[in-house]
Chains A and B, each alone.
Chain A
Amino acid sequence: MDTNISFTLKVWRQKGPNEKGHFDTFEMKDIPGDTSFLEMLDILNEQLIEDGKEPFVFDHDCREGICGMCSLYINGHPHGPAQGATTCQLYMRRFHDGDVITVEPWRSAAFPVIRDCMVDRSAFDKIIAAGGYTSVRTGQAQDANAILIPKDAADEAMDCATCIGCGACVAACKNGSAMLFVSSKVSQLALLPQGRPEAAKRAKAMVMKMEELGFGNCTNTRACEAECPKNESIANIARLNREFIKAKLAD
């Protein structure tokens, strides 16, 4: 059986993108271990609303680890201490009685804070819009055997496609680089025959968009892969480098 824990919660409060932020401290009492981190924040917000105070703002949506909306930097890790899991999949049993839990927003110049711990991640949408798709009309769904694809390539492409675009890689990176995200999105198409015709164009367009939006340069620290809730590998970054360098040399 899980036990209930009491702990100190420090959360980042910031009224707007250009306002000065600060930490607010709350004492959380008797929180059951099987409460998810977001449910714990719901409990906090109910208290705040009852007391007539402003609730704490944070992003969340599906609460089952597939949408990529939740984005909290907890005790020095994007999505908290658990690996291979999003914030919504983090349970309070991971923490101990008397802990101090510090919650911060993703910190990156390309992800400005909207309010409290909610940040603007539309930069990722702009990178996808720059080329993260195939522009051919696909028509009806084809027979599975119409284009033969090796199982390894299909599996690898599927693994790359599990990236939910949450931005934990950027939040974890000391350089604020989005290479793990961009490389996963380039890889999921580059590995499949349908994505090959536009592969060079896509790699160039997405990388240059990333540069334009102010993300940093990758220095292979591997912090992104250690924090990715979907366990994307930096092998994807090597693949993107390969695609990009080949495309530039061919020009």
Chain B
Amino acid sequence: MWLINSPIGRKVVMSVTGICLILFLTFHCCMNVAAFFSASAYNTVCEFLGSNWYAVLGTLGLAFLAVCHIVYAFILTAQNRRARGDERYAVTDRRPEVSWASQNMLVLGLIILIGLFLHLYNFWGHMMFAELAGVSVAHDPADGFAWIQDTFANPVFSILYLVWLCAIWFHLSHGFWSAMQTLGFSGKIWLKRWQMIGIVYVTVLMGVFAFLILSFWLGFAPSYSSAL
């Protein structure tokens, strides 16, 4: 099976799962924008997804993508360290052409994973999981807006989420164009285009997330004044 036993195949798995996760982030971001304007609009989205079969199926699909991405990351890193040999260079130097993020994707990925656990605890655990398991929680599981208010009222969570977004930004600043390169949609000209598209796209995406966090933390979102 070439997706397991060839170096390019393994990278194809990383690329395809990575691109799918970026698409999910885009979808996630669009839903969150609703919470900026109206609490009821956001809660309608939450009720629509809730713990319905399609949302559970989607979550399982996402979990599968994320697990593949992470498991392959560890396999690739282990293989790459072995390929480098036992003896390390005494002196190393990085050319400016080599981005810092590209050489630290695993570390960035681990930071993102830790943030993901926090995020799942803050929201998924109180919403979909609470509904599925029938656990009673402080708010109605479908009242997503209340969970947003609760979480971001805490400055520690808000700052942790902002740090998390920075890690995702660095991870994707390399990850996006790298995925295109691995899938072969790149060349001397398209390499630069993908890099630019990736940076702009990721900056907009993370910028919107960061803006939303600040608006809930500092309470300047229009939905806050209407909810109070």
Contact = CB atoms under 8 A, between A and B. Distances in A.
Given A214-B83, A220-B181, A177 B97 contact: no
Contacts of A75: 91, 93
Contact of A245 (B7, B8, B98, B103): B8
A234 B79 contact: no
A216 B187 contact: no
A226 B184 contact: no
B183 interface: yes
Nearest to A156: B188
Given A109-B83, A207-B6, A219-B76, A233 B188 contact: yes
Contact of B80 (A104, A175, A208, A244): A175
When A and B form their complex, which 5 residue pairs have the shortest distance between CB atoms, in order from nearest? A242-B184, A76-B93, A216-B83, A176-B83, A175-B80
A238 B177 CA distance: 11
Contacts of B183: 241, 245
A176 B185 CA distance: 24
User: Secondary structure of the B side of the interface?
Assistant: helix
Contacts, number: 139
Interface of A: 10, 21, 23, 73, 75-77, 83, 102, 104, 107-111, 174-177, 179, 207-208, 210-211, 214-223, 225-227, 233-235, 237-246, 248
B102 A107 contact: no
B178 A220 contact: yes
Contacts of A234: 181, 191
B12 interface: yes
A217 B178 CA distance: 13
Contact of A238 (B7, B82, B83, B191): B191
B191 A217 contact: no
Nearest to B191: A235
A176 B85 contact: yes
Given A75-B93, A104-B91, A241 B83 contact: no
Given A175-B83, A177-B83, A217-B7, A104 B191 contact: no
B84 A217 contact: no
A237 B8 CA distance: 10
A108 B83 contact: yes
B146 interface: no
B84 A176 contact: yes
A23 B11 CA distance: 37
A211 B191 contact: no
Nearest to A211: B7
A150 B8 CA distance: 29
Nearest to A215: B83
Contact of A217 (B80, B93, B188): B80
Interface string B178-197: 10011111111001000000
A241 B187 contact: no
Contact of A102 (B88, B90, B97, B178): B90
B182 A109 contact: no
A234 B97 CA distance: 12
Contacts of B79: 216-217
A175 B86 CA distance: 12
